[in-house]
Amino acid sequence: MNLLTRLNQVTAKTLFHTDSLGSYFEPIMQRIKPAWRTHCFRAQVLGHQLLRADVVQLDLSADKAWPQAIAGQHVLLTVEINGRLMTRPFSISSAPDQSHSQYPKKRVIRLTIKTHVDGAFTAKLLANITAGSYVNLSAPQGEFAVSDRIQPSTPLWFVAAGSGITPFMAMLNQLALLPQQPQNPINLVYFAKPGEHLYVDELMALQQQLNQLKVQLLIRKNGDNLADALSDCTVQSQVLVCGPGQFKQDVDRQLDAINHPLKQRQAEYFQAPVMSQTHSGEQHIQLTQRGKQTQLTLATNNSLLNGLEQQGISANFGCRIGVCHQCQCIKKSGVVRNMRTGEISQQGEQLIQLCISQAVTPLELEL
C-alpha cells in the first residue's frame, strides 16, 4: 500500500467514517450520475431480450473509461436489488469489435444470463432494471481466450454445454471480423437439452462466414455423446471448454483417453467440481477480523467460506464459485487446497479465495 492510498484511507476514516474519500462523495455524485461508484464502471441498460423463458440477453453500453475486453472474458455485473448491491459474474457474449445495427453509435456489451426461479440475483434482475437505467460493471476479467500465438495449422475445438456457449459467441464473432479468414480448422461442439440451444441462427450465419467452422448442435438424450463428438480431436488441437463442472470433467476424461496434453486445454465452468471427501478431519484456524482474534476449528472437507458461515462469521462473498474474487482474504500462514484445481498452496502469506479453499494444515487468516 503506497503512502497516498494510506493517507486517503486514514483521512476518510477520521473525518467521514468511510473506507475512502470516494465512498464519502458517492451519494453526492449519484445525484448527478446514477449508479456512480468509486470502484467500478457505470453502464447504461440499452434493452433486453428473452431468448428463452429462463434466458435473457442484456445489452449494455459502458462508460468510455471501461477497458476493451478480449473475446471470452467475463465481467462482474452489480445491480441494486431491494436496496442491496448484488454482484454476479457473467461471460460477455458479444465480440469487442462487433457492431450492432440496433445501437449503431454505441459500444455494446452483450450479456447472456440464465435465470433461476429461486435465484437471489437472476430471478429479480429484470424487475430492477429498465431501458435507460444504470448498472455497474467491473473491468473485463479472465484468461479464457484464443491465444494469438496459436499456429494457423492448429485445430481449435470449442466445447460447450448449455449457457456455456456465451464466451464462444464472442470468440466466433471476433474471428469473423478478422481482415483475413482464420486458416485453423474450428470445431464447435455444443450440447444442450432438446429445444434449448441458444443463438442457433447466429451460429448458422457464422458457419457461412467462416469457411473453416463446423458447428455440431448435440443432444445427449438423442444419443449424441462426447466420444463421438470429439472423435476427430487430436493431441495437436487447442481445446476450450465451457459448461457445468461435471461436463468439464467428462470432457477431460475423453481428452485424457487420447493423451491430449493439459497445456493445450482451457476451461471455465459454473461451479467447482465436487471434491471427494477423503480428507476428513478438522484443522485449527486463527482468524483476525477488524483487529479481533478468534480461534476456530473447521472441517477440512468443506470450503473455508462455508465453514466460517456455519460458525456464524460473515465474510464478503459474491459468486461462491471462485470467479468474482470478492471473498479474497489474506492467509498469513498455513496450507490450503484449491478446490477447483487441486493445487496445494505454499506455507507463507498469500491472497486466497475462501469459497474454493480448504484447510490442509492449521491456518492463520486475516479478513
Q: What is the pLDDT of residues 195-223, one digit of tens each?
A: 999 999 999 999 999 999 999 999 988 88
Instruction: Report the C-alpha dihedral over residues 80, 83, 88, 94, rounded to 10 degrees.
Output: -10
Judge contact between 324 and 89, C-beta under 8 A: yes
Numbered ranges of CATH 2.40.30.10 in the chain = 33-137
Numbered ranges of CATH 3.40.50.80 in the chain = 156-269
CATH class of 282-366: alpha beta
Q: How much is the pLDDT for 34?
A: 64
Q: How much is the pLDDT for 351?
A: 84
156-269 is classed in which CATH architecture?
Answer: 3-Layer(aba) Sandwich (3.40)
Q: How much is the pLDDT for 84?
A: 76
Q: What cell does 58 get?
A: 442484456
Q: Is 174 helix (H, G, I), strand (E, B) or coil?
A: helix
The tens digit of pLDDT for each residue in 306-332 reads 999 999 998 888 888 888 778 988 888
Q: How much is the pLDDT for 45?
A: 96
Domain at 33-137, CATH homologous superfamily: Translation factors (2.40.30.10)
Which segments in the chain show pLDDT lower than 70? 1-38, 271-280
Between CA 124 and CA 221, with CA 122 as vertex, the angle to 5 degrees is 135
Q: How much is the pLDDT for 12?
A: 43
Chain-centroid distance of CA 166 in Å reads 11
Q: How far is CA 270 from CA 97, 285, 350, in A?
A: 26, 29, 25
The tens digit of pLDDT for each residue in 354-364 reads 999 999 999 99
Residue indicated by cell numbers 488441437: 237
Q: Is 32 helix (H, G, I), strand (E, B) or coil?
A: helix
Q: How much is the pLDDT for 155?
A: 97
Q: What is the DSSP letter of 329?
A: E
